[in-house]
Chains A and B, each alone.
Chain A
Amino acid sequence: MMEAFQFEFMRNAFVAAVLASICCGVIGVYVVFKRMVGLSGGIAHVAFGGIGLGYFLGVNPLFTVLPFSLAAALGIGFVSRKSKLPEDTTIGIFWSIGMALGIILIKLTPGYAPDLFGYLFGNILTVSMSDIGLMLVLDILIVLMVGWLYNDLLSFSFDEDFARVSGVAVNFLYYALLCLVALSVVMLIKVVGMILVIALMTLPVAMAKQYTHSLRKTIYLAVAFGAFLTISGIGISYLYNLATGATIILTLGTAFLLSSFFKTVSQQFSKMRR
């Protein structure tokens, strides 16, 4: 296992795992507790349209997916707030249209679509130094914003009506969170792919919330769990030659199930002793 560190791509993969866990833990907490999981899943899938656009225009898809995801995030957010459609209907519509658009654009592009599988399911072993730089910038942006607006975000997530009445910039926070989700999706495409992004945002948080009643500690724990389990997942995929993105998600999923199981058993046990 240790010889893995000799390879630059493995070292990059481990650094990327930690950086991805920071952004997923911090943003994931708000996605989970503000009940934006469906919305975020929608954004992640619409992003496929952006990938298709990149192929069609003959440019690096990462350049087209960024503006495309941001526009999609604002679009989904706006329509789910302003229209009379139920939020999940809106998400379903955007989700499928985005993916359909991506497929048409890729089919229209002459020749073979390289790396398509990589965008869908990720390959953390191909993360480059410039990717890492980009992730670092996004992490700093997210940590600064959440650090500054922590109390506003707490009020907004807990009770939006009260937050609005007490002067919190509720609309700004809503769209800012959606944009950060979109940026995170773009950043995580390399790590786990757009299909699996949502698992990386929710699983560490779901696990962390079993151990604390403080939002701040939930964030710290989610980042720690995410980093540890993502790195373990990369290790397992290296040892058994499995697809990295999927192995990371299965590692997170297994850990979450085990953690829930032990939590339930220990609660039952302490009830019996009482």
Chain B
Amino acid sequence: MTQNNKIIELKNVWVSFEGQIVLEDINLSIRKEDFLGIIGPNGAGKTTLLRLILGLIQSDRGEVLVFGRQPKDARKFIGYVPQTTVFDKEFPISAWEVVLLGRLNQVGWLRRFNPEDKKFAEEALKTVGMWHLKDKQIGQLSGGQRQRIFIARAITQNPKLLILDEPTASVDKPMQVGVYDLLEKLKKEMTIILVSHDIGAVASFVNKIACLNRKLFYHDSKEITAEHLEAVYECPVDLIAHGVPHRILKEHKHP
């Protein structure tokens, strides 16, 4: 692997809130065409790590480079799918309007969408299989349908990197597979990072896994070890590894 296909580089990054260390000495490189799943329990700093990459928060120490630049300057390459468990179901907006808002980073000073923007939105809605529901108010959709709409909003921006925060948190079990199938399709066109506390689901779809609980355990592969999981979840592995395909849980000696 050469240096220049690293699209994200974090070097010795520390983040704290009100004196509490949230991320401790994080080192992470993500390469082009990776499909990386970051797992960890609630409160492990997963969302914080994503917000750092998006330039929504600053690190106390260390270096964050996204596409070789400061995170804020790299946003135009990133499609972001925020966590949607907290969101106003009454908000008067249709699925179509939500998706179209993804194009707001392309419009000129008049701040109006042109036919090309609408074409992009239409294609995105068709890609995620939601074109027939475009006129529904966002609160009337199911969790899985809503998640597809938010993914569509992100891909209207033609991103090189797609970042998803707990994409299946508000989706019922049978619909979750649909969301992962969609990501499977998208990973051919873009690099994907997703965070989740649901190890089982993530492990079967991504091609690289990192474990996060304040510290990050990552070997640039799909290999996670029992020690990692124990360190991250602070409980015996046989409790948490339930549902994890065995091939990824290799015996592994730490250097």
Contact = CB atoms under 8 A, between A and B. Distances in A.
B24 to A, nearest CB: 22
B111 A215 contact: no
Interface string A177-198: 0000000000000000000000
Nearest to A218: B92
Contacts of B40: none
Nearest to B82: A161
Contact of A162 (B76, B80, B93, B137): B80
A206 B153 CA distance: 28
A172 interface: no
B25 interface: no
Contacts of B51: 161
B93 A165 contact: no
Interface stretch (A87-95, A147-155, A223-231, A234-242): A147-155
A166 B111 contact: no
Contacts of A33: 88, 91-92
Given A84-B18, A151-B107, A161-B56, A215 B92 contact: yes
B90 interface: yes
B231 to A, nearest CB: 30
A166 B102 contact: yes
Interface string B94-108: 100110111011010
A3 interface: no
B88 A148 contact: no
B111 A158 contact: no
Contacts of A209: 90, 92
Nearest to B101: A155
A168 interface: yes
Contacts of A166: 75, 80, 101-102, 104-105, 157
Counting chain B CB atoms within 10 Å of each CB, the highest count among A154, A164, A166, A167 belongs to A166
Nearest to B103: A166
B104 A161 contact: no
A213 B101 contact: no
B56 A167 contact: no
A217 B93 CA distance: 11
A78 B56 CA distance: 17
A221 B102 CA distance: 27
B54 interface: yes
Interface in A138-164: 148-152, 154-155, 157-159, 161-164
B242 interface: no
Contact of B93 (A152, A161, A163, A215): A215
A266 interface: no
A158 B101 CA distance: 10
A212 interface: yes
A-B complex: 6 closest residue pairs judged by Cβ atoms:
A213-B137, A166-B105, A167-B105, A155-B101, A165-B80, A215-B92
Given A166-B75, A166-B101, A213-B94, 11 more contacts: A33-B92, A151-B100, A151-B107, A151-B113, A154-B93, A161-B82, A167-B75, A167-B105, A212-B92, A214-B93, A215-B93
8 contacts: A151-B104, A154-B97, A158-B88, A158-B101, A161-B56, A161-B80, A165-B78, A168-B104
